[in-house]
Amino acid sequence: MYYNIGVALVAKEAIKPEPTIKQRSEKISRCSNPDCKKHKQNKNYPDFKFCPTCGSPTESFVKEWEEKIEADFNIRDIFIENDIDEDEFFILYDDLHNLGKDAVLFISNEGDESHKVYGGYDDNTDNWKITPEIIPSAINSFKKRYAKPIELIEKNFKSIEIFFGVVPYIL
């Protein structure tokens, strides 16, 4: 398990695209006798000229129906479509954080040097002192650096929260 200490973004309730309705049809050959139990079942007998149950001639018709096709939602695809490098974030979909259905956690993939820009970093000891002043600075830096991805995330989720904290994650 890894831990991210810094800024993260939680996006909840993805706004999924509307499903599409596709018209479907199939040519059916069925028993022509309305009293035959096979007639009502609309069994397809493409190679038969007569019903195998009652012996009546078969009839052909076109069966039509609508099929609802759910659209896939993937924030990575949306990033790619908008020329955003999907590797700028670790995008976490796991249940480790108990964020709820359709929630996505984004943590910066800035590398080990990210905390140096927020202040409080001591090159001599390689320690980072987190102070109350650093937290707003880190959040503002995150918002500026990721303005375009954040805008896309806001358009595709009902709510987002940007916060500073410790986030455990598994790659």
pLDDT digits (tens, 9 = 90+) for 136-155: 888 888 898 889 999 999 99
What would the pLDDT profile of 107-136 be if each residue is shown by its tens digit?
A: 877 654 555 555 555 666 666 677 788 888
Residues 79 and 138 in one domain: yes
Q: Domain check: are 82 and 134 in the same one?
A: yes
Number of domains in the chain: 2
Residues 11 and 32 in one domain: no
DSSP state letter for 146: T
Q: Which pTM was predicted? A: 0.64
- Does residue 78 share a domain with residue 52? no
Statement to judge: residues 118 and 89 lie in one domain:
yes
Range of the domain at 33: 20-69
pLDDT band at 99; cut points 50, 70, 90: low
pLDDT at 95 over 80: no
- 160 vs 31, 36, 54, 155, CA distance in Å? 58, 60, 64, 10
State the maximum Cα–Cα separation within the chain, in Å, rounded to a whole number.
95
